[in-house]
Each structure stands twice: as structure tokens, then as C-alpha cells.
Structure 1
Amino acid sequence: MITLFHAPRSRSTRIVALLKELDAHDAVRIECVSIPRMDGSGVRDARNPHPEGKVPLLDHDGVLVRESSAIIQYLTELFPKTGLGIPTGHPQRGAYLGWLGWYAGVVEPVLTLEAIGLDHPALARTFRSSAEIKARLAAALKDRPYLLGDHFSAADLLLHSPYAWFGKPGEPALDAWVDRCTDRPGARFAAEFDARHAAA
């Protein structure tokens, strides 16, 4: 059995979207749990086996997978038929893994620190800035609709997600990319799923 531990309107929403894109939403049970929220609402849910009480968390027959980038790689390899992941041996495999790693190691820390108002020269030297993140994404999308070309991939699903949450970056090429990603069946499915379960 595969279970996704999910809190509506959280980082795990993008994994719900991924399940739809992978045509795997019937193969993975979604367990909605409570999490502590930044506004002080919510509590740690005893049903959630994540060691820090966070989401997303995937439980595949007792094997726990945490962190969005790892869960995305795991699920795209488990459900490969829609082509959202890039398989071993494919010439774009390195670029694909690089985008997943860059999100976890750079994008999320930079945008989170910026959102809470923390700034220090050492942070900029280590992670760079949100302006540099936008510039790198804009360069990648200059002549193509998605990060790896004409084909929407799980890298797009992950990398566009903070802009879908916090607001579009305000640059035409990036805004159009975010619009393309949020108009996908997965994004619409996840939004509807969360709307149904948020009050529960």
C-alpha cells in the first residue's frame, strides 16, 4: 500500500497534483493530517509518521520517503508511463535531477528566508538571491515553454509551485510559465481536492 500524508494547502499539495499528472491518484491513498502552521494554527497529528510532523510524507509498504524533491523522484520512477520524470540513460536526466536538487538546496531556502525577512551577505553568497533565481529560470525558459523543452515535467511542477503559492514573479516569461503549470489537470485536481478537505 502507498499512502501520502497530506495537509490541505501546504507543500504537499504539489504532490497531490503530481499524483493526478501521473495517473496514480487511484493507486495512492491520501491521508489528510493536521500540521502546525506558521500562523499558529494546527497541531502535530499523531497519525503522521513523519519524524518532524511535517508533510509531504510518502509511506510505501512501511518505507518512508520525505522531502518533496525525493518524493517526486520516487513517484515518477514508480509510475513512469506519463513521462513526467526523466529515466536513467536519457540525455536530459542530469538536467532534470539538477532542477529537483536546486529547488531543495537553493530555491526553497532563499524564498523562505526572504518571506520571513532574514537577510545576510553570507546567505546571498551561499544561496544567491530571489532575483538570481528568477534570472536562471527566465534563461531556461527563454525559447521554450518548459524547463526541459516542449514537454511538461515534474521539474516544472516543483519549480513553479512557490510562485503559484506566493504569487507570480512579475516577469512575462515566468508568469506565462506559471500560468501554463497552474492550468494543468494536476493543479486543478489538487486545488479541488484541498477545497473539499480543508475544512475537515
Structure 2
Amino acid sequence: MLTLYHSPYSRSSRIVRLLDELGILDQVEIRIVGISRIDGSGSADPANPHPEGKVPLLVHDGVEIWESSAIILYLTELFPDAGLGRPIGHRDRGALLSWLAWYGDVMEPVMVVELTGLSHPILTSTFRGVKEMTARLANQLQETPYILGDAYSAADLLLSSTFVWMPKATPDVPAIRDWVARCQARPSAARLLEYDRKLLEA
């Protein structure tokens, strides 16, 4: 049994979108929980088993999987037919793993540091900065329409989600803006917005 702990308009929204892209929404129980939000609203929900009270959390037959990149890798390997992952032996397997790790190890820390206005040589040397992050994305997307080439993948879903939720942070680089637009043109994007909207209204 698969259970996803989700809070609307949060990091777990991209996992709901992934379930849609994989065609398995009807195979996963989605439990709605509250979370503490950046604006000070909300609070940790005792119904959420995540040890830090966060989302997303995926539970598969009693086994907990946390962190978006890990959940994305887990689900794309569990349901390979949608083609959003890259199996062992595929020539793009290493690239997929690298981009998923790059999101959590570089992209998100860089964005958080930028938003908070922090500046320190150790932060820059460890995570790089927005300039370097932008260049890395742009260099790839100037070569191919999607992160791994000609086809949309789980890497596109994860990396573009940052700019979906923070559109003003999207670099003013045509290759990146066009890529985000391509990702958002997929039907799953509109369905996710409607899904989260209905949850908030309920």
C-alpha cells in the first residue's frame, strides 16, 4: 500500500503531480496534513508521521521515504512504464541521479540563501550562487529542450517546480523561461492547481 502525506501548495504538491504523470493517482492514498509555513501560519500535525512534521512523506507497506528527490526516484522506479525515470543500465541514468541530487545539494540551498539575503564565502564555496546555478541550468537547456534531452522526465518536474512556486525567481534567460513554460504546458500542471485549490476550499 502506498500513502502520501500532503499539504496543499507545498513541496508535496510536486509529488502529487508526479503521481498524476505516472498515472497512479488511483493507486495511492493521499492523506492531507497541516504543516508549519514560512509566513508563520499552520503547525505540525500529529497525524503526520514525518519526524520533522514536514511533507512530502511517502509510506510504502510501512516503509517511510522522505525528501522529494528520494520519493521521485523511488516512484519512477516502482512505476517505470511512464518513462519519467531512467532504469539501471540506461545511458541517462547517471544524469538523472545527478540532477535529482543537484536539486537538493545545490539548487534549493542556493535559492534559500538568496531569498534570505545571506552572504558568506563558505556558503558560496559550498553551494555556489545564483549566477553559477543559472549558468548550469542554461548550459544544459540551450543544448536540449528538457534536462535529459528531448523527453520530459522526473528531473524536469523537480527542478522546474522551484520556479513554478517562485515565478519571480525564474532567471531572465530565454532557455530557462521557455523550459519552465514547456513543463507547465503539460496537463498535469493545471490538474494539480485545481486539486490543491479544491483542498483549500474544502
SS at match of 1:19: helix
Superposition deviation, residue 22 in structure 1: 0.5
In structure 2, the residue matched to 1:160 is 160
SS across alignment from 2:31:
strand
Number of matched residues? 200
Gaps of 5+ in 1: none
Counterpart of 1:96 in structure 2 is 96
Q: What CA distance in whole angstroms lies between the structure 2 residues aligned with 1:133 and 1:67?
A: 21
Give the Cα separation in 2 of the matches to 1:186 and 1:134.
Answer: 25
1:48 matched residue in structure 2: 48
- Residue of structure 2 in register with 1:185 after alignment: 187
- Separation in 2 of the partners of 1:106 and 1:64? 24
* Deviation string, structure 1 residues 93-143 (Cα, Å, up to 9, x no partner): 001100000001111111012112211111001110011111111100113
Match of 1:23 in 2: 23
Greater relative contact order (Cα 8 A, min sep 6): structure 1 or 2?
1
The answer on 1:124 being equivalent to 2:124 is yes
* Aligned residues with identical type, % of pairs: 57
Instruction: Give the distance between the partners of 2:185 and 2:116, measured in 1 at CA.
Output: 29
Structure in which a larger fraction of residues adopt helix: 2
TM-score normalised over the length of structure 1: 0.97
Please say if 1:109 is aligned against 2:109: yes
> What's the offset of the Cα at 1:192?
1.0
Shift of 1:185: 2.2
Structure 1 vs Structure 2 CA RMSD: 0.9
Q: Report the Cα distance in structure 2 between the residues aligned to 1:169 and 1:198, rounded to whole angstroms.
A: 30
2:156 and 2:20 map into 1 onto residues whose CA distance is 15
> 1:198 maps to what in 2?
200
